[in-house]
Amino acid sequence: MNSKYMFSLIAVIVLISLAYVGVEAAGLQVIFGIVIPYMAVLIFIVGFIYRVMDWASSPVPFRIPSTCGQQKSLPWIKHSKIDNPFTAGGVIVRMFFEILFFRSLFRNTKCRINEGAKISYIWEKWLWLASLAFHYSFLTVLIRHLRFFLEPVPVCLQLLENVDSFFQVGLPGLFLSGAVLLASVTFLFLRRIYIPQIRYISLAADFFPLFLIISIATTGILMRYFTKVNIVGVKEFAMGFATLHPTVPDGIGSLFYVHLFLVSVLFAYFPFSKLMHMGGIFLSPTRNLPNNNRAERHINPWNPSVKIHTYEEYEDEFREKMIEAGLPVEKES
């Protein structure tokens, strides 16, 4: 059994047990319901701003965009305006498709060796579909949860909830975003387990957020469809949390605090993990710069000033020694 994901799995199980025992046995509802969530939100905001400011202040003296198309050169050579943008407008279009539709991942292929030592490339569509489903379902779940923090609930959130639950299966209605989120993150986890190349390069830090999100989705589904959490108490708790007048209503249940604690851990862990690609993609010099190196000369502004020693000055300094050594000089004296 792979120890990399076992460490992460054990860590998540310990977190779940810690929250459950802390609430059920020790009665620490205030700690797990108020103190830890507020600390997690504070760490998330400060950490996110710090990482973004650190990236923004990092020097990028040269144009280093990742390209997979023809650069603009001679007029009769076709230019790839999106994959190798030359202008800021081309960069905006490229970033738009990259952020909203994962265009580079859509173009991803995997290599396979066939009989006769022939290499073929196959479109890796399942990874693109799973990643797209995961990110959009996660975004939908986050936006949908805003109904707990707002009163009255905006019409746009009500419309989103109606669309998300249009596939009516029993009561309460089935939210497709929750099911898709759990299915897609499970696929991403299994992919890291069953593909040897991916398993080899995966670290415990790659498995931990997957297990954490799986646990968050699972506890959320359990509360909605099985244990029937007190939704009025949850609404009261969320409104108090958002208005900085936190309360701990009675009758919510331990599962809610486990779910909330896992979400808090994810928020606090987010700025210091690979999940920060959400903010980093906007500041990546491999994506947000036009590739115009052939048209413009880019000089590193951070280079220190260097005293130039010309050949004439060199010859004036060593002319006599050069003549004695028999070396040719431009001036005899």
Are 54 and 167 found together in one domain? yes
Look at the chain and report how many structural domains it folds into: 2
Taking only the tens place, the pLDDT of each residue in 266-294 is 999 999 999 999 888 898 888 899 998 88
What are the structure tokens assigned to 39, written together?
A: 């600390």
Give the percent of the chain with pLDDT over 90.
Answer: 46
Are 262 and 151 found together in one domain? yes
Are 235 and 333 found together in one domain? no
Which pLDDT score is estimated for 169?
61
Choice among 93-97, 108-112, 127-131, 141-145 with the minimum mean pLDDT: 108-112
Average pLDDT of span 73-98: 91
**Residues 8 and 204: beta-carbon distance below 8 Å:** yes
Are 316 and 290 found together in one domain? no
Are 332 and 211 found together in one domain? no
Kindly tell me if the per-residue pLDDT of 220 is higher than 60: yes
Give the percent of the chain with pLDDT over 70.
Answer: 97
Choice among 27-31, 205-209, 254-258, 326-330 with the minimum mean pLDDT: 326-330
Cα-based distances in Å from 299 to 61, 86, 284, 302: 7, 18, 20, 9
Taking only the tens place, the pLDDT of each residue in 224-246 is 888 878 888 899 999 999 999 99
Are 229 and 281 found together in one domain? yes
Average pLDDT, the chain: 88
Kindly tell me if the per-residue pLDDT of 333 is higher than 70: no
Are 22 and 171 found together in one domain? yes
Average pLDDT of span 299-307: 77
Kindly tell me if the per-residue pLDDT of 299 is higher than 90: no
Which pLDDT score is estimated for 64?
85
Task: Provide the whole-model pTM.
Answer: 0.84
pLDDT class of 170 with cuts at 50, 70, 90: low
> Would you list the DSSP string of 232-254?
HHHHHHHHHHHTT-----TT--H
Choice among 14-28, 61-75, 160-174, 195-209 with the minimum mean pLDDT: 160-174
Are 190 and 321 found together in one domain? no
- Per-residue burial over 284-301, b if 16 or more Cβ lie within 10 Å, else e, is bbebbbbbbeeeeeeeee
Which pLDDT score is estimated for 2?
64
Are 111 and 258 found together in one domain? yes
Kindly tell me if the per-residue pLDDT of 315 is higher than 90: no
CATH, residue 10? 1.20.950.20
Are 225 and 285 found together in one domain? yes
What are the structure tokens assigned to 307, written together?
A: 């005293």
Phi, psi of 251 (to 5 degrees): 80, 15
Average pLDDT of span 303-313: 82
Q: Quick one: CA dihedral 320, 324, 326, 327, positive or negative?
A: negative
Kindly tell me if the per-residue pLDDT of 1 is higher than 60: no
Residue 176 belongs to domain spanning: 3-302
> Would you list the DSSP string of 272-311?
GSGGGHHHHGGG-TTTSS---TTTS----TTSPP-----H
Average pLDDT of span 41-63: 90
**Separation of alpha carbons 42 and 47, rounded Å:** 8
Choice among 6-10, 71-75, 163-167, 252-256 with the minimum mean pLDDT: 163-167
Are 152 and 281 found together in one domain? yes
Cα-based distances in Å from 9 to 153, 207, 211, 268: 37, 8, 6, 18
Are 139 and 227 found together in one domain? yes
